[in-house]
Amino acid sequence: MLRRSRSLLLLTACLGLFATPATTAGIRHLSEYDISLGVLPIARASFSSEFDRDDYRINGSFKSSGLVSLFSDISADTSVNGAIRGQRLQARAYSLIYRQDRKTRRYEIRYRNGDVVSTSVDPEPKARPSNWIPVSNGDLRSVLDPLSGLIFPEGAKICPSRLPIYDGESRLDLILSPKGSKPFSTKGFSGDAIVCEVRYVPRSGYKQGRSDIEYLKSVSMEVWFAKADKVNVYAPVYARIPTKVGDVYVTAVKYGG
């Protein structure tokens, strides 16, 4: 159960829904998101981001709520720091501390020029089954972190694009295709959002034939990107993620400030 809940949490983070950085030195950008399964609230997330010249840092927290909390207490703290390199945020260090009831797992990744140079997981995972697809050295080159991987400086190509993500255990691609634009309003923002269809493509670091992975491969997700006022970046404000028990929606209830 810990692993399966973490999969959804990390996929949501990969979709960029937990971060909206500011690009002006000394400015802190705050964002908050409601997460629901259909109309049922299941979690909330809040994030703050800071930029100092060409460097950035994002810190976030996630906590289950509503019906989910009646069955299991799930929370996470995550952070990333790095630099702006042209039209991409490039991480130096990423961390995730994931908790479910009395279980805790910590992931730490170090990057250099887009390549992974070290990964630590505590406690270490159990022995892998025979149908596990291992992460190769080639999978760890030219990758993005799950938290800032979908933050785009102004002028960058948003969709279409291919985003190679590594989360400390799994390597995956997110394939973004354009679907036009739609109006979006929330506290701190009102305007048009760029809409992308997103396909999930697992590469390595997962059990072949696992039902939830196979399901995600077969469906399309949707993410809306909006420009943050005065900071010249695009980040997600809305997403729809299909699951076997219904669609999960992530919606920005505050975008800026």
Q: Does residue 72 or residue 202 have the better pLDDT?
A: 202
* Type of residue numbered 87: Q
Summarize pLDDT for 167-205 with one digit per residue, the tens. 999 999 999 999 999 999 999 999 999 999 999 999 999
**Per residue in 84-111, pLDDT tens?**
888 889 999 999 999 988 899 999 999 9
- Can you say whether the dihedral through the CA atoms of 229, 19, 32, 195 is positive or negative? positive
Percent of the chain past pLDDT 70, that is, above it, reads 87
The reported pTM is 0.89
- Structural domains in the chain plus CATH codes: 2-255 (2.40.360)
The whole-number pLDDT of residue 186 equals: 96
The alpha carbon of 76 is separated from its chain's Cα centroid by a whole number of angstroms, namely 13
Per-residue pLDDT tens digits for 42-55 = 889 888 888 777 88
Written as one letter, the residue type at 37 is: L
Q: Assess whether pLDDT exceeds 50 at residue 1.
A: no
* 63 has pLDDT over 50: yes
Across the chain, the runs of DSSP E, i.e. the strands, are 28-37, 40-52, 55-64, 74-85, 88-100, 103-112, 115-122, 132-133, 152-153, 161-166, 171-186, 189-204, 206-207, 220-227, 233-243, 246-255
pLDDT at 71 exceeding the cut of 60: yes
